[in-house]
Copies of this chain bind each other. A is one copy, B any other.
Amino acid sequence: MDFQQLIHSRESIRNFNPHKPIGKETLERILEAGRIAPSAANRQPWRFYLISTEKNLAKIRSCYGRSWFMDAPHVLVVAGKYSLSWMRTSDGYNSLETDLAIAMTHLVLAAEAEGVGTCWIAAFNADELKKSGLFEKDEHIFAMTPLGYPNEGFKKNGLKNRKLLREVVVYL
């Protein structure tokens, strides 16, 4: 599958088979895509938490109370530290969120390439997550996604509701 096919086929999946965990090698290929992502000044200010045990999944599910989220056999949480990322001296811009978004994009697309469903979640309750005790105190919890395979018979939506190219591109 080439890159254009990959990004056109990816969509947010909200249907997971709780009884079909992802194999170790597949998970490692997905995580590898986050590991080699570029970051400002190559600081790699990230940590990827792969939560797969029932005990730990139970600790984080309250942060995002959708029923389909409860079904996912894995949840991947991307976190990082502002103290590790690059800062632009001219205006104090810190690259952490940008770096983590690049890594998360790599992870999501690598999952798609493996046939693994994802749904980038930003609307989680960060306080609930912190209370789980699974993360370091000074870590910024940036984003999460379930990882898993859809239930049998699930069909992708196949639609992309996007602005037209001429609405978003300016040729100068």
* Chain A residues within 8 Å of B, Cβ to Cβ: 1-4, 6-8, 10, 12, 28-29, 31-38, 40, 42, 44, 46-53, 56, 86, 88, 90-91, 93, 95, 97-98, 101-102, 104-106, 109-110, 112-113, 120, 122-123, 125-127, 134, 143, 160-165, 168-172
Contact = CB atoms under 8 A, between A and B. Distances in A.
Given A44-B162, A162-B35, A50 B3 contact: no
Most chain B Cβ neighbours within 10 Å, of A47, A101, A160: A101
**How many identical subunits does the complex contain?**
2
A167 B88 CA distance: 26
Contacts of A88: 122-123
B36 A7 contact: yes
Contact of A134 (B104, B105, B172): B172
A160 B105 CA distance: 18
Dominant secondary structure at the A interface: mixed
A163 B122 contact: no
Contacts of A40: 122
Contact of A91 (B1, B3, B33, B126): B126
A97 B90 contact: no
Nearest to A46: B168
B33 A165 contact: no
Nearest to A163: B44
A109 B8 contact: no
